[in-house]
Amino acid sequence: MDTRGISGYVEEIYAMDISAVEISTITEKVIPAIKEWRNRPLESIYLFLFLDCMHYKFKDNGSIQTCALYNILG
């Protein structure tokens, strides 16, 4: 997306007026940090945690109850 497109997007979504020049100034400062992060050495192992939940309805003493079954994988 070009700087004018970003400026238009910010104005449309956030009702803020940021010029294309300001967008360019910001990106010039941010892009070196992004490139450094993208080129960093990767670790051999990364930890992860996956959470999910399923809701079930069941009858208990004549009334319908909802129970959550949590699935956790890490």
Which amino acid is it at 15? A
Q: Is the pTM of this model over 0.75?
A: no
Query: pLDDT tens, 29-53?
Result: 999 999 999 999 999 998 889 999 9
Which residue, among 46, 45, 65, has the nearest Cα to 55 in the 3D structure? Answer: 65
Residue 70 DSSP code: E
Mark out the alpha helices in 1-74 (DSSP H runs).
Answer: 3-14, 20-38
Q: What is the pLDDT of residue 9?
A: 92
Region 18-35 average pLDDT: 92
CA distance 31 to 3: 14
Coil vs helix vs strand at 2? coil
| Spacing of C-alpha 70 from chain mean position | 22
pLDDT > 70 fraction of the chain, expressed in percent and rounded: 100
Region 50-67 average pLDDT: 93
Q: What is the pLDDT of residue 51?
A: 92
